[in-house]
Chain A
Amino acid sequence: MVRLVNASGFERLLISLSALLLSILIGAVIILAAGRMTDCGSAVYTLAFPGSLVTGLVGGDALFSMGFCYDPFSVYDKLFLGALGDVLNNPTNGQFATTLAETTILMFTGVAVAIAFRAGIFNIGAQGQLVVGALLTAVVLVYVAPAFSGLGVVATLVLLPFGLLLGALGGGAYGALPGALKAYADANEVITTIMLNFVATSVALYLVSDHFKDPESFADQTVAIPDFSLFPSMLFRARDDFSLVALGIGVLTLVGIWYVLTRTSFGYDVRTSGLQPDAAEYGGVDADRTIVSSMALSGALAGVGGAVYVLMILGNFQTGVPSYGFDGITVSILAGNNPLGVGFAAFLFGVLKSGSIVVQVGSDVPPELVGVLRGLIILFVAMPEFFRMAGRKFYSVQPTGNRAVAADGGGGHDE
Chain B
Amino acid sequence: MSEASIRGRAGSAVRNARERLFEGRSPLQQIVIAVSLFAGVALLAGGIFAPNSTASDLLTILFADSTLAATLRLSVPIAFAALGGIFAEKSGVINIGLEGLLIISAFTGIWATDITGSVWLGLLGGIVASTLLAGLFAVVCIEFRADQIIAGLAVWLIALGLAPFASSVVYGGTTTVSVPTFQTLPNMNVPVLSALVTTPLGFVVELPVFGVLDLESSLVGIPFFGALFDANPTVYLMFAAVALSWYTLNRTAFGRWVVASGENPKALDTAGVNVHRVRYAAVLLSGVLAGVGGAALALGIGQFTGNGPTMVNGKGFIAIVAYLFGNYNPIGAFLSTMLFAGLDAVQLTLQARDVFQVPRPLVRTIPYVTVIIVLALFGRTRLPEAAGDNYESGEGE
Residues of B within 8 A of A386 (CB): 140, 144
Residues of B within 8 A of A389 (CB): 144
From residue A299, how far is it (CB to closest CB) to chain B in Å? 16
The listed residue (A192, A198, A403, A406) touching B375 by CB distance below 8 A is A192
> When A and B form their complex, what is the total count of cross-chain residue pairs whose Cβ atoms lie within 8 Å?
155
Q: Is the CB of A385 within 8 A of B164?
A: no
The listed residue (A202, A333, A371, A383) touching B364 by CB distance below 8 A is A202
Q: Is the CB of B149 within 8 A of A195?
A: no
Closest to A376 in B: B158
Q: Is the CB of B317 within 8 A of A371?
A: no
From residue A363, how far is it (CB to closest CB) to chain B in Å? 12
Q: Is the CB of A202 within 8 A of B361?
A: yes
The answer, yes or no, to whether A216 is at the interface (CB within 8 Å) is: no
Residues of A within 8 A of B375 (CB): 181, 187-188, 191-192
Q: Is the CB of A195 within 8 A of B158?
A: no
Within 8 A of A (CB), among B163-185: 164-166, 168-170, 174
Q: Is the CB of A329 within 8 A of B362?
A: no
The listed residue (B314, B360, B380) touching A195 by CB distance below 8 A is B314
Q: Is the CB of B376 within 8 A of A181?
A: yes
The listed residue (A187, A330, A374) touching B376 by CB distance below 8 A is A187
Q: Mark B359-381, 1 if CB is under 8 A from A, else 0.
A: 11110110011011001110110
From residue B260, how far is it (CB to closest CB) to chain A in Å? 24
The answer, yes or no, to whether B251 is at the interface (CB within 8 Å) is: no
The answer, yes or no, to whether A122 is at the interface (CB within 8 Å) is: yes
The listed residue (B151, B166, B170, B369) touching A382 by CB distance below 8 A is B151
Q: Is the CB of A379 within 8 A of B154?
A: yes
From residue B149, how far is it (CB to closest CB) to chain A in Å? 6
Q: Is the CB of A382 within 8 A of B147?
A: yes
Taken together as a complex, chains A and B put the C-alpha atoms of A191 and B320 apart, in Å, by: 8
The answer, yes or no, to whether A199 is at the interface (CB within 8 Å) is: yes
Given contacts A191-B321, A194-B314, A199-B368, contact A382 B359 (CB under 8 A): no
From residue A106, how far is it (CB to closest CB) to chain B in Å? 15
Given contacts A202-B364, A379-B154, contact A372 B379 (CB under 8 A): no
Ranked nearest first, the 9 interchain pairs of A and B with the lowest CB-CB distance are A371-B161, A375-B158, A366-B168, A375-B157, A379-B154, A206-B361, A372-B161, A368-B165, A383-B144
A-B contact pairs, 24 of them (CB 8 A): A122-B149, A186-B379, A187-B372, A187-B375, A192-B372, A195-B317, A195-B372, A196-B368, A198-B309, A202-B362, A202-B368, A320-B308, A326-B157, A329-B153, A330-B157, A366-B165, A368-B164, A371-B162, A371-B164, A372-B165, A375-B160, A376-B158, A386-B144, A407-B149
